[in-house]
Amino acid sequence: MIANAYELIVYILTLLGVYEPVLNIFQLLGIEYVLKIIIVLVEIGILFVFVLLTVMFLTWMERKVVAMVQARYGPMVTGPRGLLQPVMDGIKLIGKEDIVPAKADRWVFTLAPFIVFIPALLVFIPLPFGQSLIISDLRVGLLYIIAISAVSPIAILLAGWASNNKYSLMGAMRAVAQDISYTIPLALAAIAVVMFTGSLSTVDIVNAQNGTWFGVIPRWFIFLQPLGFILFLIASIAEMGRIPFDFQESESELVAGFFTEYSGMKFAMFFLAEYAHLFSVSGIIVMLFLGGWALPILPFVPAALVQLVSLGVFLVKTYAVIFFAMWLRDTVPRVRIDQLLNIGWKIMIPLALLNLLVTGFLITAGVF
């Protein structure tokens, strides 16, 4: 059984007959660990490139979905169906002047985009893309994900504060208030899932959803935790900062919220982080409630193709969630900040606690 992507690479290299001779060379030199580091770097590189490509694709997809809803074409000129538009956007943003406002806190101002961007990538480490496609199966995977996600509001606060702009500051304040009030229901909804699996490991969570009831219904947690799923979905859309909860930006009120003063590559990093976040959060929703890469047909797939099929299953489910988020963005207006906090504290947290209570009761009673 291949546990993670490292072992998968080793397995593929062994199949190709390359691993043994190379390992021998390194063992001869007594620097076996260098090979390990190289392989780890390669897998991280693959993940990085994959995430960046996905993010670029998502920006294109977002524009196309919006265009579809709004009876337009969206980008059509650059490449087939405008598919190369994100590349052009990237080139344009690199070419832009990098403006730092005169009265901004220069050091913090420059640091903030990186602090937003790096956690957005780190979240992917314990996320299982396929049966063995995981960088590292952390034993505290879920805790790690929630903890890492909590870094981004700090970066947003840094950005808003350092810009020395009232709109930025208000956007940052809103982002923090929103994040605090929505991380709690998010975590509470996730804990209900953990109560079933008894493990924080992401692999265990997905494995627990592998299989079916009565041979028909997949054992996804969405069927055991419908309320938890809805709470988690709403809370994660708020975490992502997308309409109807896009308070950090809310462009019609705060111009562009916390990144009003950013331009060029720094702006691009916020932008990329936002879409990386969209992808990772959708992946987490799939992993927790929609069975991850698990699908009842997976046992019937030939062993050689299992990795690819499971990756495909995971991506299809993730894109379904992403599409939902984009669709939502086009149909609903933004709620007001106080209404948002009201929903968070007065409705979502009590409901999440209730969900936890009922789940615990039912598990103790042995219903599940």
| Minimum CB–partner distance for residue 215 and other proteins (Å) | 39
Residue 133: half-sphere exposure toward Cβ, Cα within 13 Å: 21
Decide if residue 265 touches other proteins (CB under 8 A).
no
Decide if residue 317 touches other proteins (CB under 8 A).
no
Q: In this complex, which beta carbon is closest to other proteins, that of residue 38 or of residue 69?
A: 69
Binding mask 11-50 for other proteins (x = CB under 8 A): ----------------------------------------
Q: Pairing state of beta strands 212-213 and 217-218?
A: antiparallel
| Minimum CB–partner distance for residue 329 and other proteins (Å) | 8
350 backbone dihedrals φ, ψ, rounded to 5°: -60, -40
Q: In this complex, which beta carbon is closest to other proteins, that of residue 6 or of residue 167?
A: 167
| Minimum CB–partner distance for residue 365 and other proteins (Å) | 35
What does the buried/exposed string (b/e) look like for 325-360 if buried means 16 or more CB atoms within 10 Å of the residue's CB? bbeebeeeebbebeebbebbeeebbebbeebbeebe
Q: Which of 146, 254, 313, 325 binds other proteins (CB under 8 A)?
A: 254
| Minimum CB–partner distance for residue 235 and other proteins (Å) | 16
Stretch that binds other proteins, among 137-145, 207-215, 248-256, 264-272 (CB under 8 A): 248-256
Decide if residue 339 touches other proteins (CB under 8 A).
yes
- Altogether, the residues listed in the chain come to a count of 368
What would the two tokens of residue 148 be?
């890492």
Decide if residue 284 touches other proteins (CB under 8 A).
no
The contacts found for 50-59 with CB under 8 angstroms, 24 or more apart, are 51/121, 51/124, 51/276, 51/279, 52/272, 54/276, 54/279, 55/272, 55/275, 55/276, 55/279, 56/86, 56/87, 56/90, 57/86, 58/275, 58/278, 58/279, 58/322, 59/85, 59/86, 59/89, 59/271, 59/275
Which residues in 162-191 contact other proteins (CB under 8 A)?
166-167, 170
Which residues in 46-85 contact other proteins (CB under 8 A)?
66, 69-72
Q: Which residues bind other proteins (CB under 8 A)?
A: 66, 69-72, 166-167, 170, 243-244, 246, 250-255, 330-339
